[in-house]
Structure formats: structure tokens, C-alpha cells
Amino acid sequence: MGSKAPIHILLVSYPAQGHINPLLRLAKCLAAKGSSVIFTTTKKAGKDMQTGCNITDKTVTPIGDGSLTFNFFDDGFKEDDPIRTNLSDYTPQLEHVGKKHVSKIIKNYADLKTPISCIINNIFIPWVCDVATEHKIPFAILWSESSAVFTAYYNYFHKLARFPSKPEPYIDVQLCSLLLKHNEIPDLLHPFNNYPFLGTLILEQIKNLSKALCVLVDTYEELEHDFIDYISNKSVVIRPIGPLFNNPKIKCASNIRGDFVKSDDCNIIEWLNSKPLSSVVYISFGTIVSLPQEQVNEIAYGLLNSKQVSFLWVLKVKTPPNEIVLPDGFLEETNGRGKVVKWGPQVEVLAHPSLACFITHCGWNSSMEAIALGVPVLTFPAWGDQVTNAKFLVDVFGVGIRLGYSRAENKLVSRDEVKKCLLEVMAGEKAEELKKNAIKWKKAAEAAVAVGGSSDWHLNAFIEDIKKRDP
């Protein structure tokens, strides 16, 4: 292949919002740096993504020096089939059709004499690595959770630390220099977790590492160097390339977004513009977690009782009989201080100068967005890596106050607790300390993705690695 010809990189995503977002961001970075990127996921996810913007199947969109092409495949289920939410039934079928589809793309590109040079996939679809190996194509994994969480899975898989077990469910776990309580490890590694199937899928991915070119992580060196060093010393090539959402390279393709839900309110930014500096609390629990009605009520009254606090709340309103409703007269009582929406442009919201803090479920995308935009947080994790991220946001990165614990503990956080934490995070000595730390991480994140920064360097090194292996 001539040195000027673009390399073709195939990205395969599990069809869920929290997985598509970071992989799509990576796709845009790679394209902006001159690669021809093919992004594939299911037709259903492709259709959902089209609600956020104008994504079209098989159209080549130029981005920077390269291009991005979507290529969607049919997962074999009707559009409204509820099986997609039952992961242990859905995932084997996804593997069955996905393997055939990925092989077909590889063959098509080879026939056109533009062979795929590398395949990148995210978690929950470890079979993509088998397809790559079968076709002798180098592959890499995008790990869209933290390096600390990656280390926990790595140590568990290789039995490098003691983890809770059925006979000893409450032991602490040593993770580098940090001691995590049993309820602070990624809960899919806990013997009593509710989703053992997902834990197995992630461990399958860890098994693939010995054959991978590298693992790309949506984090940055300055934030997690202890864990990055630790993993590097285990002879895994780990490349911190984040925060992906804040990479200046993706700004040229900001119209390509993967939002599954369209914002129901076009005036969110205008509303934020009308608020004083650092005065608004943003509340969102990501794309999967939904709180029980009683907890929604406690948060609502906590907000009301904290009198002067303004808030923007992304609330998933489910359909009956599981409908979530706000207490009667709630919005009227807030007197214009509050706005409740179904979806919002989260990155733009967090970057807005009127933002004071973020009540978050601590999904890694939300955590990274808050850290890199310098926004202090109140942590309210539900499950999975969120419980570990919450521990880090509070005790390691120093940007948060713990509001709630894992949902598995089934404790309701009272309105008084909500009010107390809100007032603490908004003003006073603790608030200043959190803001100072948040600004420090924001500056470090900007430096990491700038030209010559640590994440930019790792992304360039990754592309060079692929080129070196190109036949």
C-alpha cells in the first residue's frame, strides 16, 4: 500500500448508547487524523442514532483528512422486540449475525483492494476479536470505562488479588495502592451481582488482550497514571487517548452525534444563559438507570427545600404502569428555578458557565465529561463500574461528595440529605476545594488532547502501529 493511501479501520459497536457514544467519538478522531473509518452496529441502533442527527447508511462523510462511513446490519428482530433488553437472550443472536456481517465487510473491502487494516470493538462483543483473528487482521479494544476499573477486571481474571466470593462476600480488595470496600469494586465482579452474564462477557474481553494490538482507554495519563503504569507493566499495551469527547479533532464533525433520544426542549442553553454564573445543578442518571418513584420524590423535595438552587433535570419518564411522575405542583413551586427535560445536550450543558454541579449516576462517560469540564459532582451510583467511579470521584480525584450508595443496597437518600449535600457542593470551604480540584483536572484534560499532549501522542502512536503492520 502506498504511504499516502488512507488506512481503513473498522469499528464495531455494541448497540447501546453508553457504548456507541465513546466509539463514535473515537471514529471521528481517527477520521480527522486521515483514516477511512467504517462504523458498524445494528440497524436498530442506527435508526435510533438518526433521531439525534442526519446519519445515513453507507454514505462516505469527509472528516478532516479522512472519512467516516456507517454500515448497519440487521440483528434479526422486529423493531419493537423486547428481547433487546434481555441481554442474555439477545447477545448470542447478536453474535450470530454480527460475525457474518463483520466478515462480509472485511471481504468487501478486500475485494475493492482497500483492505481493513485494523478492527476496534467495545465491551460486550468479544466475538469481534475472533473474527479479526480468523481474518488475520490486527485488532484493538476500546475500553470505555476507567483504567482503574480495567485493572480490577484484569486482576480478577488473572487472580492477582483477592476478591469477594460467596464464602467471603464482604472482604476489601487491594487495587494498586488503594483499598476498595466490597461495595466499591465494579459490582459485576461481586458474587451476588444481578447480571453475572455481563461480567462473563467483560472477562471474555480481558481474555482477548493477549492477542490485541492494544487497549485504548477513554481516560488520560495525568488522571490515572498509577493504573496505566500498573497495566503497562503487565505487558499489555494500554493507550490512554481521552477524554475523547473533548478532543479538538472531533469539533469539525460535531453535527454527527449518536443520541438515541431527541431533546424535547430547544431552549435549554437559552435557559442556562439566563442564570447567574455557577448557580445551576444538573441532574442526570445516564441512559439505563432509572430511579424508583420514592427516590425521585426525595430528590424533588430536596431541590425544593434548598430554596435558592436552580436545576436542570433529565428525567426518564417511563410508560405506565412504571411511569415516573414529579410530585404534584412541583414545578410551579420552584418558581421558574427548575427545568425538567427528557434529554439534553449534556456536554454543552456541563460546559456552560452557569453550571455549579452535577448529580450523576457516575457512568464513565458522564464522569469523564464532568472531570474534563471542571464540574464538581454529587455521586449517586447504581451498579456496574458506577460504584467504583463514585469512589474515585470523591476520594481520589477530589471533585465530589457522596450522595447515594449502590442501588443494590436499597437505601433511600432522604430529601434532607439531598438538601445538605447540595448546599455543601454549592458554597463554602468544601465547595471551593472541589472546584479547585475540578479546574486542575480540566486543565490537565485539555493539555492531554492538545497537539503533543499525552492522549494525542498515544492516538498517533496507535495509528503508526497499524501502519507498520499494514501489508
Q: How far is the CB of 32 from ligand UDX (least distance, A)?
A: 19
Beta strands 338-341 and 310-314 are parallel
Q: How far is the CB of 100 from ligand UDX (least distance, A)?
A: 26
Draw the binding track, 181-220, toward ligand UDX (x: CB under 6 A; -: no contact).
Answer: ----------------------------------------
Q: Which of 468, 465, 467, 447 has its CA nearest to residue 456? A: 447
Number of residues assigned to the chain: 471
Beta strands 66-73 and 60-63 are antiparallel
Q: Is the dihedral of CA 325, 328, 329, 334 positive or negative?
A: negative
**Does 366 interact with ligand UDX (rule: CB under 6 A)?**
yes
Considering 8, 19, 361, 458, which one is annotated as catalytic? Answer: 19
**Does 386 interact with ligand UDX (rule: CB under 6 A)?**
yes
Site for ligand UDX in 2-21 (CB under 6 A): 17-18, 21
Q: How many residues bind ligand UDX (CB under 6 A)?
A: 23
**Does 343 interact with ligand UDX (rule: CB under 6 A)?**
yes
Q: Roughly how many angstroms between the first and final C-alpha of the chain, as a whole number?
A: 7
- Where in 232-291 does DSSP place strands (E)? 238-240, 280-284
Interface with ligand UDX by CB under 6 A: which range of 231-239, 292-300, 342-350, 438-446? Answer: 342-350
Residue number, 286 or 338, with CB nearest to ligand UDX: 286
Draw the binding track, 256-295, toward ligand UDX (x: CB under 6 A; -: no contact).
Answer: ---x------------------------x-xxxx------
Q: Which of 348, 392, 350 has its CA nearest to residue 374? A: 350
Residue 353 near residue 326 (C-beta atoms within 8 A): no
**Residue 57's beta-bridge partner residues?**
70
**Does 364 interact with ligand UDX (rule: CB under 6 A)?**
yes
Is there a catalytic annotation at residue 19? yes
Residue 142 near residue 365 (C-beta atoms within 8 A): no
DSSP 209: G
Residue number, 265 or 424, with CB nearest to ligand UDX: 265
Q: Which of 299, 440, 438, 301 has its CA nearest to residue 356? A: 438
**Does 344 interact with ligand UDX (rule: CB under 6 A)?**
yes
Q: Which residues bind ligand UDX (CB under 6 A)?
A: 17-18, 21, 145, 259, 284, 286-289, 314, 343-344, 346-347, 363-366, 369, 384-386
- Residues with a catalytic annotation lie at 19
